[in-house]
Structure formats: C-alpha cells, structure tokens
Amino acid sequence: MPAELRIPRSDPRQPAPEPSVAELSLATARWCARRGWPVHPLAAGRKTPAANCNNCRDNPHPPATCLCLQAGRWCHGFYAATLDQDRIQQWWGANPQFGIGVSCGPAGLIVLDIDAHPAQPPTRDRILPGIPIADHVDLTGLANGFHTLAVLAALRGQPSPADDATTLRVRTPSGGMHVWYRAGDGHRWQSSVGSSPSRALAWQVDIRAHGSYIIAPGTTTRHGTYTPVGDAREPAALPFWLAQELERTGHLPAPNTPAPRPVPPRARQAILAAGGGRDRLQHTLKTVLAPVEACGQVAEGAGFSDTLNRAAYTLGGLIAAGRLPQEEAEQALKETALAARPGQERRIDQIIRSGLTAGLKRPLHGSGRRP
C-alpha cells in the first residue's frame, strides 16, 4: 500500500489500528485522484469494472451519450473514471467493497503488465515481435514475461524495467508485476496484449495505456492484494529506450493516420487463396483480424460484437479447411479483441466461442462465406 495511505497512530506508544476495508478503498481512490489519475470502481473481489446498469447492459450505446455518466454513475468501466472527490466519496463511501481501477490514458500513464503464467512459449517470432531469435539460441528456462522483458532490455544494454527501483512497481496476486511510468510527452500511446500479431512488446508483457485501465496499488481482490515493491510510490518518466521500443512495436500510431478499414470480402478471398507457408499464415491472420483491431481505434460502438463474430466465423472456416492451426488462430483473435476492448474478457470469450463453433461447421476452401 502507498505510504500516504497508512493511517497514522494518535499515540505512538499504542499499536497501530488495522484500517477497515471502507477506509482502505476510499483512501486509495482519493490518493490516486490527488495524483491526477482518474479512478473508476472495480467489481468486489475482481479485476473487472463494476457492472453496468440494466439499461446500459441491455441497450449498448457510446459512453459519450450515456445519461448514467452525466448523472454521476459508473457505467462503462474506465470511461466513467473521475477525479471528482465528491463523486469518489459517493461511489466508494456507499460501496467500500469496490476495488479501484485507474484509466491510464487520461492519467498520462504507461504501465507494463508483466505476467508470470505457466505456459509454453510461442514460436520464436512472437517472443520479441520484430526481433528474430535464431534457432541456435537456447531458450531453455524462458517461461514468463519477466524473462522476455529481461532479454529485450539486455539486447538494448539496459536494466530490466522489472528491476527499476526509481518508479512505482506493484506485485500482483498471481506473481506478476505492474511497472508504472509517466508518458509526459503528449503522445497517445496505445495498449496491447502479450504477443498479439497486431501490436506487442514481448510475450507475457501487456501494455496498459490509452484504451485500458490498471488496478491501483492497495486494491485487494479474492486472489490477494496489489502490493507496492520497494520505496518508490510515484511513476518515473518513461525511459527513452523503452519509448523507442514501444514506437517500434506499433504502440504509437502515426499522426493523422486513419484506422485500418475492413478488407472487402472479394479481396479477402483473393488473399486467402494465395499460397505461401508461414508468411501466408501470418498474412491471413492479419487480414482476418484487421477489422477487429480497427475497433480499438473507436472508444465504443464500431459494431465490435458483430465484427468479432465475423472474424471468429471466418477463422473457424479456415481452421476446418486446414488452412490455420486452431490454437494459434484462437489465441491471436482473443489477444486482438482484448486489445480493442480491454476488460471485456467474458463477453469476448462468448462471442469467439459462438463464432468459431459455427465456422468450424463450414470449411473455407476459397469461396462461399457468410454474406
């Protein structure tokens, strides 16, 4: 927990009283807001935003037009994030069980979300996207985001951000780490998930920036508490070398560049009919995923659910025809969807599962798709 959130003792000779859950949640939210970090409620004991009201859930609409936000309610996740201390008192005072999320873009934050999930590493071209790892390089022992980030830093002659004691670092209940930095340059840095084919820094290293949120230090979920590491309680400026890497890996869109447009069906069929081994596979994935990625350029709407369903349906047909490996295709689609709509994992899983199931029944051999 940040040092400023510790409740002082009225008598130093007496044991410090344990702060209540209500005191902790409200104090944490206030502490974040005082630093210019807009906050929004997370569901009790979970990492996801508090649920929308029934009307917002049953009638999807852009957050900017939502009457709930205008009335001071918390619908639409990080779009409801606020610095208003009165509203913070209202939200967490009445709901002390809520966790605290910080909207990274408006806060001017870039947070490295380092995972330590036990998993088989991906193919070598996706461990450090854009940096080839030759077959003779021994990757024995490489098992998580701490390792991949350390390798990237070593290649650049820099210490790993996970060891950066000058900035706020937060240990997660799963054994990972959040490394907080200030953007401070006016750039609209973009978020990413893992080693997505569209935008990624390293395997098991997510980037939380515009379009996503991060869990505030001191927040407790049913899996444990997000606990600061070391003495730093403020984010340091984003290191120059790391900014260069983020720009290299597509986290800084070119100015005035329009969002990618969905590929017309006939053009898509021509691409899918082309030959070409591994290059063809990657090209095919990027083509099918482009409309899903484009949704990430729009805060809400953009027909995301239908776009994701169509992509899942198409991938299902390609998988059934033997054109794509199922595990890699599903993972790429999920990562791209989560990058476009962070915090909607359950909804995304449902849409992907439905679309793939339907698509697997209709193999795609080069012609004949859903209109």
Task: List, for residues 293-352, the tens digit of each pLDDT value.
Answer: 887 766 554 577 778 888 888 898 888 888 888 888 888 898 888 888 887 888 888 889
The answer, yes or no, to whether residue 2 has pLDDT greater than 60, is no
Q: How many residues appear in the chain?
A: 371
Sign of CA dihedral 314, 317, 321, 326: positive
The CA distance from 129 to 121, in Å, is 13
Residue of higher predicted confidence among 13 and 215: 215
Segment 43-97, tens digit of pLDDT: 998 999 998 888 888 888 888 888 888 888 888 888 999 999 999 999 999 999 9
The CA distance from 331 to 306, in Å, is 19
Q: Lowest mean pLDDT: which of 102-106, 136-140, 275-279?
A: 275-279
DSSP 249-290: TT-SPPTTPPPPPPPPHHHHHHHHH---HHHHHHHHHHHHHH
pLDDT band at 366 (very low <50, low <70, confident <90, very high): low
Sign of CA dihedral 272, 277, 280, 284: positive
Q: How far apart are the first and last CA of the chain?
A: 53
The answer, yes or no, to whether residue 266 has pLDDT greater than 70, is no
* CA 349 to mean position of chain CA atoms: 15
Specify whether the CB–CB gap between 351 and 341 falls below 8 A: no
Crossing angle for the helix pair 277-295 and 304-320, nearest 10 degrees?
Answer: 160
The answer, yes or no, to whether residue 274 has pLDDT greater than 70, is no
Mean pLDDT across the stretch 166-183? 96
Mean pLDDT across the stretch 239-245? 94
Q: For a pLDDT cut of 70, what percent of the chain falls above it?
A: 82
The answer, yes or no, to whether residue 21 has pLDDT greater than 60, is no
> Which one-letter amino acid corresponds to residue 155?
L
pLDDT for 125 equals 86
The answer, yes or no, to whether residue 17 has pLDDT greater than 60, is no
Q: Which part of the chain is CATH 3.30.2250?
A: 108-248
Give the angle 332-338-342 at the CA atoms, nearest 5°: 165
φ/ψ of 151, rounded to 5, equals -65, -45
Specify whether the CB–CB gap between 162 and 114 falls below 8 A: yes
pLDDT for 42 equals 94
Highest mean pLDDT among 37-51, 158-172, 263-277, 280-294: 158-172
Sheet holding 99-103, edge to edge: 39-42, 99-103, 213-215
Sign of CA dihedral 200, 205, 210, 212: positive
Segment 195-228, tens digit of pLDDT: 666 789 999 999 999 989 999 999 999 999 999 9
pLDDT for 128 equals 92
The CA distance from 120 to 118, in Å, is 7
Pairing label, strands 169-171, 99-103: unpaired
pLDDT for 369 equals 41
The CA distance from 311 to 354, in Å, is 11
User: What is the three-class DSSP state of 25?
Assistant: helix
The answer, yes or no, to whether residue 30 has pLDDT greater than 90, is yes
The answer, yes or no, to whether residue 111 has pLDDT greater than 60, is yes
The CA distance from 61 to 74, in Å, is 14
pLDDT band at 261 (very low <50, low <70, confident <90, very high): very low
pLDDT for 276 equals 47
Provide CATH code, domain 108-248.
Answer: 3.30.2250
Residue 329: CB atoms within 10 A of its CB come to 24
Mean pLDDT across the stretch 103-129? 91
User: What is the three-class DSSP state of 200?
Assistant: coil
Q: Lowest mean pLDDT: which of 113-127, 187-201, 313-327?
A: 187-201
pLDDT for 18 equals 54
pLDDT for 262 equals 47
Cα–Cα distance list, 88 to 41, 76, 232 (Å): 9, 16, 25
User: What is the three-class DSSP state of 308?
Assistant: helix
Greatest CA separation found in the chain?
80
Mean pLDDT across the chain, nearest whole number? 82
The CA distance from 329 to 317, in Å, is 11
Helical segments of the chain, H only: 21-34, 54-58, 67-70, 85-94, 104-107, 145-155, 240-248, 265-273, 277-295, 304-320, 326-340, 345-359
